[in-house]
Amino acid sequence: MDLCMFDSLESTNKYCELLDMNEVKEFTVICAREQTAGIGQRGNCWHAEAGSNLTFSMVLKPEFLPVENQYMLTKAVSLGLVDGIGPYLPNTTVRIKWPNDIYVGNKKICGILISNKVKGTNLSVSIVGIGLNVNQTVFPDWVPNPVSIKQVSGRDESLEVVLKRVVDAVELRYIQLRDGWFSGVEEMDKEYLSRLLFLGREMPYKYHEKEIKATIVGVNRFGHLELVTDSGDTITCQLKELKFLGV
């Protein structure tokens, strides 16, 4: 693993954004023991107790991937994290809360923040930021739904070992995507779908400010979630349009 380890950075994603990507090898990992201004999805901040968790970014160069298929990268990375975290929690099922939060039960164990650069019609560089709760056992009240590996398994883990396992697993899924791209990646589509939290279960959601009951039935090729409401209507929605009320 090409690993650059820092004691403290504002944000590993932000650090990567400043690098000249011609000089950075694919699969380079930038990891920080502490982030002073970690970035989460939708402009939120990412909380992680220094030295207890993993906060890192991987540099990928998915030049094979057309921009309109960028959601496939989200699927590959999410599945890689499920593969990497799963062995630490043998008695639980690790799931993906659409689009790319990693959940154990009704709690979030890992967040992913991907930022893509485009060249022509395809992606050129992806910075894949990953925040994985490992040994932290107390979280501030404002963090929504957190859980760590230790809280579930009762065991302290070596951050170095978990990092290697998780990075290897994400790399494997990415290579599966890259090498299968021209022959078909239906298998990965299916696996992603089967791992979705609340798939096939009627649950409450807020959709355009209205509370509804609906069942997740699929994800389309743009990564939009497909649900059937309790009155039988099919809705297709993007992240901003839907809030999960069941977690």
Q: Which residue has the tokens 């960028």?
A: 70
Number of residues that bind ligand BTN (CB under 6 A): 20
- Binding status of residue 101 toward ligand BTN by CB under 6 A: yes
Other Cβ atoms less than 10 A from the Cβ of 239: the count is: 14
**Alpha-carbon distance 24 to 99, whole Å?**
28
- Binding status of residue 131 toward ligand BTN by CB under 6 A: yes
CB of 16 to ligand BTN, least distance (A): 8
CB of 129 to ligand BTN, least distance (A): 3
Query: Is 108:146 a contact under the CB 8 Å cutoff?
Result: yes
Stretch of 17-25, 34-42, 151-159, 189-197 lying at the interface with ligand BTN (CB under 6 A) = 34-42
Which one of 44, 137, 234, 238 is in contact with ligand BTN (CB under 6 A)?
44
Please, where are the H alpha helices in the chain? 12-17, 71-85, 149-153, 159-180, 186-194
Give me the helix-helix angle, 71-85 and 159-180, nearest 10°.
Answer: 140
CB burial string 89-123: b at 16+ within 10 A, e below:
eeeeebbbbbbbbbbbeebbbbbbbbebeeeeeeb
Which one of 29, 38, 197, 214 is in contact with ligand BTN (CB under 6 A)?
38
In the complex with ligand BTN, the residue whose CB is nearer, 31 or 65, is 31
In the complex with ligand BTN, the residue whose CB is nearer, 35 or 135, is 35
- Binding status of residue 136 toward ligand BTN by CB under 6 A: no
Stretch of 6-14, 90-98, 165-173, 202-210 lying at the interface with ligand BTN (CB under 6 A) = 6-14
- Binding status of residue 41 toward ligand BTN by CB under 6 A: yes
